[in-house]
Structure 1
């Protein structure tokens, strides 16, 4: 992903000021990497929140469940963050990039010159556009503030409507249910997580949530939101039903924050387009994390990866590229989700043309599915099968043929297949 290089190798790089816009996980890792690689120039980290860099996965789990304080999500301890010797500009949105002058203009009128710029602007939760949504209190989950606000809604005796049966919607539903709330998930598609997993996994997720008492409505659209006779929000469904609840959560996707880049004339297409060096169409501007659209040979196309792992690794890669170090960032897509007692992981990009080999049975507590082209594993996913999937990742990256019968035999250790 990012070639090894001795620390201090950047001593001769004639860069005096590097600015990182976006203080999420990608931005935080970029800042750490610049210092770790020996950059001693001026380093400015700009965030539109008041919090220093933090990890987002716990927001839908431990923080939302009230099991962890928001401070536990911080990427660095306060002393380690201070030791980076950077200028921390919180709560300051950037208004414009003047590429010709190599200068940023802030919404408060300040300007800041840069030599290299790294955009880690991430994304924002997509909002509902149905009639009445603008007058109702519809929660989304993207920030610490969102998690703290939403956590107050999850308690026994409360009913929660989750709009969207994708990953964030299902994680929120699981947490709400574990805290005692009644939960209904409304998904417009015909199955859960339809865009990202095959039918076998959708069925497993459906059974998992049904077992925990979540009501699932598939293939149903929301046509409007009003206030019911009891003063609570009332969702009107396209099939004519009405659902009254105490709280509404929209988990309907992420909008990449590429507005700043578009305004500056950088190439964008559903995010900021970068090459394998994380470089944009401007040689002095790089991008990483949820906002970056990267060529991915594992998928055979450009893609934007919304994952904790990619935010970290691409932040590292972009920082190294900004220092003119050798970088070829072509990550194997990896995604994971925790719901109840299930840990689901996906490596690679399963395709309909792939041959499926099963190890264990979907619906069991632990199983794995492997997606093969000829006898080569191209993708793998499974529930509570972290060890098997780690070996599968190695096989995917090595592109080694496997014995399909042994792959399907749970009594044959995966380590024997990757030898």
Structure 2
């Protein structure tokens, strides 16, 4: 880089989006995008679904064709790790020894899988999914494995279980908490998904801890639960959450607290350093939080890009998420954990319904299963700062389209 510009550490969804958005918004200064993986920046959601099933080629995962970066004058450095930041000199040093100066540094370092802290967890056949290389390795093991145990019933764990059951493996899911996806969805949706996975043949064990993994000749053979039960396993897939990648920020003296601490403009206390995506802890309402989602990474990237080109505005998201599990599409908008009242619209029996979540009379979120129209309505409503009543949500004759049209005229 001939002169300082913007250096982005992390070439995942957020890092890629920031580089692309800077050029979209007219930024003419140099951009360097640094990724630890050797691949071109790629989308991760298919890794636990279509790619794992062999329904999507690796080439289709890339965000853009390789010539995009050259045409946009974005210097893409792959297979490189940023080791240190000197915030006084405004310089990033790479593992290769190269040093890059910056006017603005954006940390999009993402998160890393939490390791299973039990004896035997380092056995052959115990695997985690985070990268394309991980998905490649798991896909190869799938062909030989028959008894698959998934540890963790969050989104990733259940998506992996759905794939394994679809290809007729013997699948057991072990979850430490009393219900599946408990940190993300209401009991109504949680119970529905538990029932569907069991209908697909998955042995779902909740409220159960893992005490150890047994191995034979170094290869995993059984998962030993805390109560002594032993589950046969020739492949163990671990999805027990992630931890933000904060080491680089800590080395630079940047504040961290369950992520890299940023303000409403996604800037750290050093105005030349920002953080976005899974690694960023930002203010939302009366608390700081991290959001691990594609939507959050994209929107935060665009927010920082606007600030860098002089069009600053605070980040105030209405979060939305999704998870595809076999023929079920779960879409969520808002944060429903504090819901005081839930109203079901549609038919649970027909596998097409939504749960409208309220605090008092105020809508705080919508969880939709195979009900894309309800999801879009919820996003439009919450983004407009509006609400409907619990009675309206439960009234099948209430016209969502009329309300959306009214919002559009405001």
Q: Same fold (TM over 0.5)?
A: yes
Q: Which residue does the alignment assign to 2:34?
A: 46
Measure the CA separation in 1 of the matches of 2:235 and 2:387.
50
Q: Which residue does the alignment assign to 2:230?
A: 242
CA contact 2:353–2:371 (8 Å) conserved in 1: yes
Measure the CA separation in 2 of the matches of 1:192 and 1:26.
28
Selected match of 1:285 from 266, 273, 294: 273
Q: Decide whether aligned partners of structure 1 residues 351 and 177 sit closer, same or farther in structure 2, where only a CA change above 3 A counts.
A: closer
Q: Which residue does the alignment assign to 2:181?
A: 193
CA contact 1:155–1:176 (8 Å) conserved in 2: no
Paired residues for 1:158-307 under 5 Å: 158-228=146-216, 232-297=220-285, 300-307=286-293
Q: Decide whether aligned partners of structure 1 residues 413 and 155 sit closer, same or farther in structure 2, where only a CA change above 3 A counts.
A: farther
Measure the CA separation in 1 of the matches of 2:357 and 2:123.
46
Measure the CA separation in 2 of the matches of 1:179 and 1:291.
34
Unmatched 5+ stretches in structure 1: 1-14
Q: Which residue does the alignment assign to 1:9?
A: none
Selected match of 1:342 from 323, 328, 345: 328
Q: Which residue does the alignment assign to 2:102?
A: 114
Paired residues for 1:9-158 under 5 Å: 16-155=4-143, 158=146
Q: Decide whether aligned partners of structure 1 residues 320 and 401 sit closer, same or farther in structure 2, where only a CA change above 3 A counts.
A: closer
Q: Decide whether aligned partners of structure 1 residues 21 and 32 sit closer, same or farther in structure 2, where only a CA change above 3 A counts.
A: same
**For residues 207-243 of structure 1, what are the alpha-carbon distances to aligned partners after superposition, in whole Å with 9 as ceiling and x for unaligned?**
1101111111111111111224996522111111111
**For residues 194-216 of structure 1, what are the alpha-carbon distances to aligned partners after superposition, in whole Å with 9 as ceiling and x for unaligned?**
11212111101101101111111
Q: Which residue does the alignment assign to 1:320?
A: 306
Measure the CA separation in 2 of the matches of 1:19 and 1:352.
38
TM-score normalized by structure 1? Answer: 0.92
**For residues 133-154 of structure 1, what are the alpha-carbon distances to aligned partners after superposition, in whole Å with 9 as ceiling and x for unaligned?**
1234311111000011101222
Residue 414 of structure 1, CA deviation: 1.5
Measure the CA separation in 1 of the matches of 2:151 and 2:179.
13
Measure the CA separation in 1 of the matches of 2:149 and 2:85.
40
Q: Which residue does the alignment assign to 2:398?
A: 412
Moved more, 348-357 or 26-35: 348-357
Unmatched 5+ stretches in structure 2: none
**For residues 222-271 of structure 1, what are the alpha-carbon distances to aligned partners after superposition, in whole Å with 9 as ceiling and x for unaligned?**
11112249965221111111112111100011111111001111111111
Residue 416 of structure 1, CA deviation: 2.6
Q: Decide whether aligned partners of structure 1 residues 401 and 63 sit closer, same or farther in structure 2, where only a CA change above 3 A counts.
A: closer
CA contact 1:122–1:256 (8 Å) conserved in 2: yes
CA contact 1:164–1:188 (8 Å) conserved in 2: yes
What secondary structure sits across from 1:19 in the alignment?
Answer: strand
> Would you identify which runs of 4 or more consecutive aligned residues in structure 1 move more than 4 Å?
228-232
Measure the CA separation in 1 of the matches of 2:113 and 2:346.
36
Q: Which residue does the alignment assign to 1:395?
A: 381
Paired residues for 1:377-388 under 5 Å: 377-388=363-374
Structure 1 vs Structure 2 CA RMSD: 1.8
Moved more, 232-241 or 23-32: 232-241
Equivalent pairs, count? 403
